[in-house]
Chains A and B, each alone.
Chain A
Amino acid sequence: MQGFALYPFDPPGDIAALRADLRAWLAVNQPKDDVVARANCWASFDRDFSRALGAAGYVGMTLPARYGGGDRHPLERYVVIEELLAAGAPVGAHWIADRQTGPLILRYGSEEQRERYLPGIAKGELYACIGLSEPGAGSDLAAVRTTARETAEGWRINGQKIWTTGAHFSHIILALVRTEEGSERNAGLSQLLVDLDTPGITIRPIIDMAGHHDFNEVFFDDVLVPHGALVGERGQGWKQVTAELGLERSGPERYLSSHALFVALIDAAGPDPDPAVATLIGELASEMWTLRQLSMSTAAKLAAGEDPMVEASVVKELGNAFEQDMPRRVQAIIDCNWDDDTDLAKLLRVLLIASPSFSLRGGTREVIRGIIARGLGLR
């Protein structure tokens, strides 16, 4: 990991125009009423918005046109998603399908899977969830126990997934399952793409501490799916999942979850802020600017076909700390009651409560630091 240089972020095309068009589109199409939905907005579900965004060509941008995609460069997509996040747009419904499931189906899926699922994903109408965690397999993902046995009719799945964000509104789940009997740890795992309306699947809500229904338990009780549900190579699930996590860890969502609060803080402070507030704004701006450079550099590396696992983890670690600390630091110096009706107070409250999850989702802080330590040559 020695000798870090910024990888040039150099998307093709007219990026200024891409930003301007999207900003103009958002000015018309972004819901204005719900300020709270702008915080942590990649968890804000809005089916109508996702559909409209898809129709405007901002979902599935990197997918090939023959599957309904936009044939755009990954860094053009990066520009679009950082704009959406900075605006606090409610992108939660299609987020996972657009970010990782679609690209994974394109890379590892069969032609039949691509034709069946990618067009809906690109329209912002087909939503996906990630079937990784299980009751006994959280940070220790290799402890996955859900099984799929190959029979004459297809795969029979038995087991349980948990903490499955969006399972209740998703159409498909990409599940990591044990396909080889008697296999252990990261061997013998495969990925199956399962329609969530298949008989034998039960989805139960888990209400989070904010009172929201984001994640779920997903039970598989002798669920029969076709042979064609296998994604990629049998037994290569671990490798595919690891690549998938790289897409998940370094994006701008890792430092922009609290951005709506930063905007509200700056606006509440006005053009001539109190010195203590100006100092905090300066500190946050410095950290955000640096994170953006790191995230863009990592995205550029990913787009160039490299696998910057450690750098992606650095973005997640620093970004999570930034977006998690921000509400605490704002609360420490701003006069504002817990239940005030101002935008600033509402965003502060929502983010103080939501922020413990920031360093849990997508890999806990401890796991991420372990990956970085391995990159340093310590493990």
Chain B
Amino acid sequence: MSAARDMLCDTARVVFAEAAKAGISPVEEAGFGLLLVPEEQGGFGGDWGDVNAVLQIAGVVAPDLPVAELIVDAPLLPAAAVSLMAGAMGQALALSIDHVNMRQQFGRALGKFQAVQQSLAVMACEVRAVEAAAAALAARLDGVGLDPSAAGFEIAAAKLRANRAVGVVTSIAHQVHGAIGFTEEYDLHRVTVPLMRWRGAHGHDAHWARRLGDQVAGLGGRGLWEAMTARGA
């Protein structure tokens, strides 16, 4: 990650944490609405790689605030949701790992039980997949000047992949946490409930699956591979 993006992320962590208590105004005042505005127009001149990084933080720290809506136009909100979801899933995984390493039962940490290890490995795979989808979508959007119509395949594929990970990630996270994860006091629901919400927002599974399926059917069996390789690497 570039130094500029590192600084941007540091700022985002501080500002979003403040906004989580005070509402969206600190995010507006810090100028996040100008993230994608070119420098010559007085903006930050960022790209979707920056948006992806910032929204992954928003997905953890300020999931209930309209940060994505502040930064991007409506046609790109499904893409923004993928980044929010990737961030929230990463946090759900981190909380789960911390919990199973700390919580002792039967005389040892939960994480020492193979059954728990295997569950968390399944969850980690889903989280990595969504992070990869968010990053690959960012690369495509930046490659086509943020034109959503030129990234139709990637937006559909990434949002659908993120949606399909939600059930696995939220259920395993809650399962390994036990009762504590079901409390108002503990932080897990601050990411799992938004994940449940985002799955249905900006296109549920069937919406994107149909759209992508129709697109692929139009390409034909061999055409899918040709299109996929022509669009990236």
Q: How far is it, in angstroms, between the C-alpha of A290 and the C-alpha of B86 when the chains are bound?
A: 13
A211 at interface, CB cutoff 8 A: no
Partner of A278, one of B111, B118, B209: B209
Chain B residues with CB below 8 A from A317, complex form: 121-122, 125
A318 touches B216 (CB 8 A): no
B22 at interface, CB cutoff 8 A: no
Q: How far is it, in angstroms, between the C-alpha of A369 and the C-alpha of B126 when the chains are bound?
A: 12
B164 touches A275 (CB 8 A): no
A369 touches B117 (CB 8 A): yes
Query: Contacts A4-B132, A6-B132, A372-B121 known; A86 to B225 CB distance under 8 Å?
Result: yes
A56 at interface, CB cutoff 8 A: no
Q: How far is it, in angstroms, between the C-alpha of A294 and the C-alpha of B129 when the chains are bound?
A: 7
Chain B residues with CB below 8 A from A277, complex form: 213
Instruction: Give the nearest-CB partner of B233 in chain A.
Output: A9
Q: How far is it, in angstroms, between the C-alpha of A318 and the C-alpha of B129 when the chains are bound?
A: 8
Q: Interface majority SS on A: helix, strand, loop or mixed?
A: helix
B213 touches A278 (CB 8 A): yes
1/0 contact string of B153-186 vs chain A (CB within 8 Å): 1101110110010000000000000000000000
A311 at interface, CB cutoff 8 A: yes
Q: How far is it, in angstroms, between the C-alpha of A287 and the C-alpha of B133 when the chains are bound?
A: 10
Chain B residues with CB below 8 A from A198, complex form: none
B73 at interface, CB cutoff 8 A: no
CB distance from B17 to the nearest CB of A (A): 18
Query: Contacts A279-B209, A289-B154, A318-B129 known; A377 to B135 CB distance under 8 Å?
Result: no
CB distance from A294 to the nearest CB of B (A): 5
Chain A residues with CB below 8 A from B161, complex form: 286-287, 289-290
A266 touches B136 (CB 8 A): no
Chain A residues with CB below 8 A from B156, complex form: 282, 286
Chain A residues with CB below 8 A from B117, complex form: 369-370, 373, 378-379
Query: Contacts A282-B160, A282-B211 known; A296 to B217 CB distance under 8 Å?
Result: no
A262 at interface, CB cutoff 8 A: yes
Query: Contacts A264-B221, A376-B124 known; A286 to B214 CB distance under 8 Å?
Result: no
B103 at interface, CB cutoff 8 A: no
Instruction: Give the nearest-CB partner of A379 in chain B.
Output: B117
Chain A residues with CB below 8 A from B160, complex form: 282-283, 286
Query: Contacts A266-B224, A366-B118 known; A271 to B157 CB distance under 8 Å?
Result: no
A285 at interface, CB cutoff 8 A: yes
B31 at interface, CB cutoff 8 A: no
A285 touches B221 (CB 8 A): no
Q: Interface majority SS on B: helix, strand, loop or mixed?
A: helix
A306 at interface, CB cutoff 8 A: no
Which chain B residues (102-158) contact chain A, with CB distance < 8 Å?
111-112, 114, 116-118, 120-122, 124-125, 127-129, 131-133, 135-136, 139, 153-154, 156-158
From B34-42, B58-66, B93-101, the one touching the partner chain is B93-101
B217 touches A378 (CB 8 A): no
B157 touches A314 (CB 8 A): no
The interface size of chain B toward A, counting residues with CB under 8 Å, comes to 58
Instruction: Give the nearest-CB partner of A289 in chain B.
Output: B157
B30 at interface, CB cutoff 8 A: no
Chain A residues with CB below 8 A from B135, complex form: 5-6, 293
Chain B residues with CB below 8 A from A288, complex form: 228
Chain B residues with CB below 8 A from A270, complex form: 217
A286 touches B209 (CB 8 A): yes
Q: How far is it, in angstroms, between the C-alpha of A194 and the C-alpha of B197 when the chains are bound?
A: 59
1/0 contact string of A22-35 vs chain B (CB within 8 Å): 00000000000000
A273 touches B214 (CB 8 A): yes
A293 touches B136 (CB 8 A): yes
B208 touches A282 (CB 8 A): yes
Instruction: Give the nearest-CB partner of A368 in chain B.
Output: B121
Q: How far is it, in angstroms, between the C-alpha of A118 and the C-alpha of B9 when the chains are bound?
A: 49
Partner of B221, one of A79, A266, A275: A266
A292 at interface, CB cutoff 8 A: yes
A266 touches B217 (CB 8 A): yes
B131 touches A4 (CB 8 A): yes
B1 touches A282 (CB 8 A): no
Chain A residues with CB below 8 A from B75, complex form: none
Partner of A2, one of B94, B221, B224, B225: B94
Which chain A residues (239-286) contact chain B, with CB distance < 8 Å?
259, 262-267, 269-273, 275, 277-283, 285-286
A263 touches B222 (CB 8 A): yes
A–B Cβ pairs within 8 angstroms, 21 of them: A4-B127, A4-B128, A15-B233, A263-B225, A265-B221, A275-B210, A281-B216, A286-B157, A289-B154, A290-B158, A292-B228, A293-B135, A294-B129, A314-B124, A317-B122, A369-B118, A373-B117, A376-B120, A378-B97, A378-B116, A378-B117
- Could you list which residues of chain B lie within 8 angstroms of chain A, going by C-beta atoms? 1, 90, 94, 97, 100-101, 111-112, 114, 116-118, 120-122, 124-125, 127-129, 131-133, 135-136, 139, 153-154, 156-158, 160-161, 164, 205-206, 208-222, 224-225, 228-230, 232-233
Other A-B pairs, 4, CB within 8 Å; known A282-B215, A372-B124? A11-B233, A282-B216, A293-B133, A377-B101
- Could you list which residues of chain A lie within 8 angstroms of chain B, going by C-beta atoms? 1-6, 9, 11, 15-16, 19, 79, 82-83, 86, 259, 262-267, 269-273, 275, 277-283, 285-294, 296-297, 311, 314, 317-318, 366, 368-370, 372-373, 375-379
